[in-house]
Structures are given as C-alpha cells and as structure tokens.
Structure 1
Amino acid sequence: MPSALFVVSEHGYWGEECIEPLQTLDAAGVDITVATPSGDPPVVDKRSADPEEVGEETAERVREADETDERLNNPVPLTEPAAEEFDAVVFPGGHGAEWDINQDQHARRLLRNAVADEDGKALVVCHAVGILAFTREESGDFLVAGRDVTGFPNEWEEGLLDEAERLTDGRKLPYWVEDEVIAAGGNWDAELGEETSVTVDGDLVTARGPPSSGVAARTLLSELGVETPEP
C-alpha cells in the first residue's frame, strides 16, 4: 500500500486544498499520516469553511473532516517523519502556510528529500508553493531553479488584500508566492486562462489553488502508479 505524509499548517490551511487530496488519496487506498510543525492539530482557515465563501457542500465537507478525521486531530510533529518513509509528501495550501510551513526547516527538508528520492514524489498546492522559494538542494541551489511550476498568482492575491497588503483578519502578508518563486529561479505559469492548473516537473507536482486540488490529487496518484478514483 502506498503512503503519503500531509504537512499541514497550524496558522490556517485552506479546507478544500487539504481535504480534497486527503480524501481522494484515501479512497485510492493510500495510507496517510498528518504532520504539523509542533504536532498540534492543524487549524482550518475559517473562510474555507464558510458557506458564503465556498458553498454549503464544500463548507460542510471541510468542517466535518476538520472535526472528525483522526489523522488531522492527532498529527505528528515535523521533527519526526522522514520523506524516505513515504511514497509522497503533500503540502496543502492556505495563507497560513506562509507563516509556518514555508518557513519551517523540517518541512523544507521533507520537500527536498521527497523530490531527491528516486521513488519519492511531492505535491505542493497554492500558497504552500512558496516553500519552493526557501528550499535548497544539497548543492545549495534553489530546488525550484529551472523547474516548471504553478501556484497562487499575484493577480488573485491583489483581490484579497487591502492597500497595506493585509488579509481580512488583519495579518499582513509577508510575501507574495509568485514573486518569491520567480526570484528563486522557477519557471512560473499559473495558466490564468484555464479552469485548473496542475504542473508536473520530475518528481514535483504543483497546483494553483482550491479548484485544482482534485486534479492535483489524481495527478499525484497517476505519478505514483495508483489507479485513480473517479471524481
């Protein structure tokens, strides 16, 4: 049975970007472990469980999983797992990832080793794609340098922030994912003309945002050689 480690934010993960891949991989028989920086349960971004933001069906699905999924409620700290223990490492997005996951040395180690491992894969979604701007290979080069990637675009970010680049909860965004990934040498294309955007470059799979989460999960399963469940 293949296995996957989900690295989830304690500062606000986006519900669909975590729950959709988690449940899709679950349905395909993947053994899933959840990790957070400190080992405390991850915290869902309230907007991603708000029916007015995401619709009643998605909101209910996110709330139920966040409250009842034992893997989410009993994560392991990021200091414990090694990428080599899993077939894939998954980084769900959400603005919260900018404050903890993307800045965590253990999360970056997991990403680096998952992509470097001959049999490993990594899926990075939305704002979590910012971790690519802070992750270096053993050589010291940025992991993303020369790689084709997608992620949360500046054009979308502009519509979410006020003039001081603050989110609706008052937090100032520390950086914009697109800018940082390009600065680290990534070949960025968020495919804004497409309904979804998922990019595969070697053992690295990246996804643009919530609507791309399902496609991203099925793409990862395909890369792992696992039969993909119907959407």
Structure 2
Amino acid sequence: MPSALFVVSEEGYWGEECVEPLTTLDSEGFEITVATPSGSPPVLDERSADPENVGEETAEWVRDVHENDERLNNPVSVAEVEAADYDAVVFPGGHGTEWDVNQDVDARRLLRNAVEGDSEKALVVCHAAGILAFTRASEARSASDRASGDQPRASDNDFLVAGRDVTGFPNEWEEGIVDDHDRMPDGRKLPYWVEDEVKAAGGNWDAELDADTSVTVDGDLLTARGPGSSSAAAQTLLDELDA
C-alpha cells in the first residue's frame, strides 16, 4: 500500500492546501500519517474556513475534515518519523508554517531525506515553501551530484533549494495581506517573506502569476503556489509516483 506523511502546522495551516491532497491520496488508497512539530493536533487557519474567503462549500468541507479526520486529530511528532518509510512527504502551507514547520529541525530533516532519498517525493505548498530557505543539503547528496556530473546543485552545506526550480506564495500576494509593518490581520508580525528567502537560498523562483495554477517539479521536489493549485499539486504528485 502506498503511503504519505503530512507535516502540518500547529500555528495555522491553510485548510484546502492540506485537505485537498489528503483526501485525494486517501481516495487512491494511500495510508496517511499526520505529523506536527510537537505531536499536538494541527491548528486550522480560520480564514481558510471562512465562507466569505473561500466559499461556503470549501469552508464546510475543510472544517468537516479538520474536525473529524482521526489522522489530523491524533498526529505524531515529526521527531518520531522517517521520510524513508513513506512514498511521499507533504508540507501543506498556511502562514502558520512560518512560525513552526519551516524552522523545525526534524521537519527540515524529513524534507531533505525525501528529496535526496532513493524513491521518495516531497510536495511543498504555498508558505511551506519557506522551509526551503532553512534546509541544508546533505554532504552525501552534494558529493553524488558532483560525481555524476549532473547540473550543479547545492554544494556541501549549501541550501537544498540552490539551483532548483520552485514556486510558492509570491510577494505580490503577500502585499495584499500584511500591513506596512508586515503585520498579519491577527496582529502577528510576519517573520519573513517566503519568496525573498527562497530566492536568497538560491532557488529559481517562478510563481507563474499569469497562470491559473502553478506546480513545479524539479527531481523529487514538487512545489505548489497556493490553495488554488492544491488539486493540481495532488494530481501531479500521483503522476510522479505513478500511483
């Protein structure tokens, strides 16, 4: 049976970005495990279940899954799991990831091992792309890249995203959410802008703002722009896994 690990924020995940891939993979027979940084249940960003923001149908669907899915209500800690035990590791987005998942050492380990592993895939959605700005490549992967003569990637201790094509939540959209002091609607100050940090880490960023959806595949790393790309991201992941 194929399997997937979802690494979900306790500080506010965006409903559709988790629920869409989770239910899609579930319907294809995947065994799903949910992990959070501390092992406590993930927290839903209430804006992602507000009918005025996402429509009544999506809001009802997201809240129903959030409240009733056993896997979301009984997660494990990211420290307890290994990427090699799953076919895919999925990182749903949401602003909350900036405060926990993206900077968590075990979440970064899971991403690195999934991308550098033999058969795993990693799907990183929206604000979760910020984890790419904090994740270093392993020395083993860097040496392998050099030995194979592949296109230059990250060198020893460089960022995993260096030289990779990626998409994610763009600055242009962030400008419509935070105020002039980078404060969120709930008053929290955004610690960083995802696009800026991923570019600084060497990623080839293109959010494809003229396209309805944006999903980028670079080796075993899949990235998606935002909630509107969640369905396309889930299908792309299935295609890449030949599921």
**Band of TM-score, shorter chain:** over 0.9
- What amino acid is the match of 1:177? V
Q: 2:186 aligns with which of 156, 165, 169?
A: 169
Q: 2:169 — aligned with what?
A: 152
Q: Aligned to 2:199, what secondary structure does the other structure show?
A: helix
Residue from 181, 190, 213 that aligns with 2:198: 181
Q: Which runs of 5+ in 2 are unaligned?
A: 140-156
How far the C-alpha of 1:118 sits from its partner, in A, is 1.0
Is residue 151 of structure 2 the alignment partner of residue 134 of structure 1?
A: no
In structure 2, what residue type is equivalent to 1:191?
E
**1:143 CA displacement:** 0.3
Instruction: Please state how far the C-alpha of 1:56 moved relative to its aligned partner.
Output: 0.1
1: CA distance, partners of 2:164 / 2:107: 19
Q: Percent identity?
A: 75
> Could you state the TM-score of these two structures normalised by the residue count of structure 1?
0.97
Name the SS of the counterpart of 1:222 in structure 2.
helix
Counterparts of 2:61 and 2:52, CA distance in 1: 14
Correspondence 1:210 to 2:221:
no
> Secondary structure of 2:168's partner?
coil
1:123 alignment counterpart:
123
| Alignment-mate amino acid for residue 184 of structure 1 | A
Bigger Rg over Cα: 2
Give the Cα–Cα distance (whole angstroms) in 2 for the partners of residues 163 and 186 of structure 1.
26
Distance 2:30 2:238 in 1: 9
Residue in structure 1 matched with residue 154 of structure 2 by the alignment: none
Question: In 1, Cα distance between the equivalents of 2:96 and 2:237?
Answer: 23
- Amino acid aligned to 2:240: E
Q: TM-score, normalised by structure 2?
A: 0.93
Q: Residue 85 of structure 1 aligns with which residue?
A: 85
CA distance in 1, matches of 2:182, 2:201: 22
Aligned residue number for residue 229 of structure 1:
none
Q: Compute the displacement of 1:163 (Å).
A: 1.1
Report the Cα distance in structure 1 between the residues aligned to 2:92 and 2:198, rounded to whole angstroms: 17
- Tell me whether 1:219 sits opposite 2:233 in the alignment: no
- Displacement of 1:11 in angstroms is 0.1
- The alpha carbon displacement at 1:106 in A equals 0.1
C-alpha RMSD of matched pairs (Å):
0.4
Q: Unaligned stretches of 5+ in structure 1?
A: 227-231
Q: Are 1:114 and 2:131 an aligned pair? A: no
- Distance in 2 (alpha carbons) for counterparts of 1:159 and 1:52: 16
**Which amino acid in 2 is paired with 1:72?**
L
CA distance in 2, matches of 1:141, 1:224: 27
Count of equivalent residues:
226
Helix, strand or coil at the partner of 2:79 = coil
Q: How far does the alpha carbon of each residue in 1:63-117 deviate from its partner, in whole angstroms, 9 at most, with x for none?
A: 1001000000000011100000001100000000000000100000000000111
